[in-house]
Structure 1
């Protein structure tokens, strides 16, 4: 029996506007051993609509984990992170900032807004996939994720 056999499928929301990074993330999770469903939104407004189950996302599942880019159209990642962590119904969802920014200020701001982790995307595609698979192993098999809080 593998680790994945003991784990319920996980709903992951990837908030990413770069099609190449979306594809690499999908590939990394597909090759992983943890059963999950990866949902993708391409800007901050869509991400918040998904999490709040508004508009076209009214039937969306509550994410168990959010992977959030900072540099997004319409509403940037800082705004999304702040809104998620300010909402009593959503603040327990772990949010991992997954960004190309190596800025110390971005990292500090993300943690001040209660990000659960801050990862810089490697430029090399193989390293990117390895980073996602390591993230998957830790966050989906080692860490206990909270159920919806009422």
Structure 2
């Protein structure tokens, strides 16, 4: 299993801490870069030498929501190939449908139970660490 470079875009500090705690508890050594909103994420993504293998983003964020950011990513000739996964508490069918129409690679509901969340993150990162990824 390869080590992934992950861009986590999440405005809720507690959710970010939870994600990092899961990585530590599972002893996963993936490199995580954090952004608190879409604008901050785009600044990070401007450095074409630091393109992540995977983008995990929240749907509901200030300044620029997950769908808006997703549209920008999918319109970019380099960034469009990075798998982007929504991590959200929203199970709104319309949100899910719109995200897939834009080109999201996956949509994962954040469960309330920590054990379920841990299992979902473990499965997600296991899959993408064995999947072939396109770099630039």
Measured against the shorter chain, the TM-score band is over 0.9
Residue from 124, 133, 136 that aligns with 1:145? 133
Query: 1:34, 1:140 within 8 Å by CA — same for their partners in 2?
Result: no
Residue 77 of structure 2: aligned partner: 88
Q: CA RMSD in A?
A: 1.6
Residue 77 of structure 1: aligned partner: 66
- Work out the CA distance in 2 between the residues paired with 1:81 and 1:17: 16
Q: Larger Rg: 1 or 2?
A: 1
Q: What TM-score do you get using the length of structure 1 for normalisation? A: 0.84
Residue from 14, 22, 40 that aligns with 1:28? 22
Structure 1: 4+ residue segments shifted above 2 A: 30-35
Q: CA deviation at 1:35?
A: 3.3
In the alignment of these two chains, the number of paired residues is 136
Residue 41 of structure 1: aligned partner: 35
Gaps of at least 5 residues in structure 2 are: none
Q: CA deviation at 1:34?
A: 4.5
Query: 1:27, 1:129 within 8 Å by CA — same for their partners in 2?
Result: no
Aligned: 1:126 with 2:120? no
